[in-house]
Structure 1
Amino acid sequence: MSGGDAGARGAPRVGLIVNPFAGRDVRRLVAPAGSLSNYERAVMVRRLLAGLRATGVREVLYMPEDYGIVTGAAAESPGIAALPALERAGDSPAESTRAARAMTAAGVGVIVTLGGDGTNRLVAAGAGETPLLPIPAGTNNAFAEPVEPTVAGIAAGLVARAGRRGAARARCIRRRKRIVVSVDGRSDLALVDAVLTTDLAVAGRAVWDPRHVRALMVTQAEPGVLGLSSLVAAIRPVGVLEPRGAYLEMGAGTPVRALLTPGVITPTEIRSVRDMPVGSSVVAGPATGTVSLDGERAFEVREEAVRMTLEAGGPWVVDVRRTLRWAQRQGFFLSGLGVAART
């Protein structure tokens, strides 16, 4: 069943991927920051389901996990069914990509994520043209904008009900940029930042020390947003929807204060930053080290050139504010009326 068919028949589906491990990497150990418990995640899911139910969504396809986060929340949420998108999912990060592919094949109208930048990168790899609605629940959350789960559920439900070709849907989603990283015939993607580091092994994955960074490309860089993109934001901010990114090289030069992880402000120096129009590429190296994608080391390089290309064809993302403004104009928030019956 396609998302458009589901919307036309009045039975939209929404996908849900909750990462129970998000926000528990080394950055939480080196910084004065806590992490969400799975109980707190379940409470967030209950609020999300309440918002979905208010729009008429009655089925959610979810990625199975061993902690019962979604199933427990659904048991406390009458009127909405939670169905597994996969028979079983393991602990591998690749399972998020596999679940997103299964949800897209099943015709969900939106995939909601609870996780950090790394989770959203993996989901985007399998979502195709299905829009994402990320709820920040990781260590660094540059890709997701702050949103209350109930509000997220309303926005996701409204977009799912609009189907794939509705004019309402076109007004409520925006396409993000992405970075394609290519090394010796293999490639991967990043949604926020791609980084060449001096670390010789993937090891603990999370990158938090600017002394280990050689160069990076970003799709966005907003002052006040935590993560490696804050290095760029200190000198040359980049908006989420601007048709450009930026490329930075570390080294002696401009002193900055970077907001790399919660509770830690790190002084460092930046040698250069330059604009990168959409469609442009840069080659770093040959170098030995690791490539980090959205804050996590992804693979090693050994005296290899690393090509980073900024592309316009990233994932579709629900614009929550635009969606709710449209819903208000349609009378959704008036008692006795609802967009669900009119889309």
Structure 2
Amino acid sequence: MQYEQLGQTGLFVSRFCLGAMTFGGADNPAGNAIGRLSAGEADAIVGMALDAGINFIDTADVYGGGGSETVLGEVLKERRSDVVLATKVSSKAGRGPNDIGQSRGRIMASLEGSLRRLKTDHIDLYQVHTFDPFTPIETMLRSLDDAVRQGKVRHIGCSNFAAWQLMKALGVSARAGLEPFVSIQSFYSIAGRDVEAEVIPAVTDQKLSLLCWSPLAGGLLSGKFDRHGNSDASARRAKIAFPPVDEARTFDMIDGLKAVAQRRKSEPAQIALAWLLAKPAVTSVIVGIKRPDQLAANLSALDLVLNKEDLDLLDEASRIPASYPGWIQSYNAAGRVPAGYPFDGPNWTLGERPR
């Protein structure tokens, strides 16, 4: 297993993070769950992940209506100290008008619920699940800061933030002396490269960790979907088109994945994961698992080192046009690149420039 530092915390996490969205929820049909795995099924996957060196597990209070956290708490038990445990707050988790968002009351109540279900006295990484336009950022950050000072949370992060929202939160933390975000969890995949325009430059500049969810775009990049209508009935993508991507363009990417996979004697899904692991900004890739064989297949991507020819083919097949003002800033930056420095056009970021 390979490990990277979580932000600048001194805490190291595995390059693969086990996503627990498939755990629990069988007794809550309305809950946000996919696999609805029982404690026994989840235990086999967690044990296999830990044996492989994965020390990072991610869940959320909303997954399976709390069922994911409950199952994970039952499964970890004495293995809790072996895991960097992450969960989230913000998504709607009840019928009441205040069972959503990042108000002080919501964060406090959700944190206590997560601690109870996970059977632990602290959360290693507590993340706000999305941006809340109704709660002032400072209110949210002060609530999280209190949780850190109380010892109930070690570090805080965000998920699904735009770059300006992330930077505003970091600015408020710095100004008010509050605990800062150390990571952002974003949708990043060869099928969805939007974060390269603004989020990744911000993450690189601020030395935050980027945690990537849905790296296979809900199974679309498994190699079992194509433009001819072939699909995988067991994949999440066959039931719900989430996350939303341009499928016509993605089929071109899948052709590229298959070409690289053929010459590397691998599978398209492993190539897609290896492509993501090769990105310098990526700390950890979150993989949702329903069966042990899926985990074994994903783990094999760690042994794949894509060469320049592979990466160029995949980058070209998946590249999205540069947006403004990125494209005009790249023109100016291009004339100032030191000799021999690898300039990547629209993906240029000052945070990566030699000092």
Question: Could you say whether these structures have the same fold, taking a TM-score greater than 0.5 normalized by the shorter chain as the test?
Answer: no
TM-score, length basis structure 1: 0.29
TM-score, length basis structure 2: 0.29
Q: Higher relative contact order at CA 8 Å, sep ≥6: structure 1 or structure 2? A: 1
More helix by share: 2
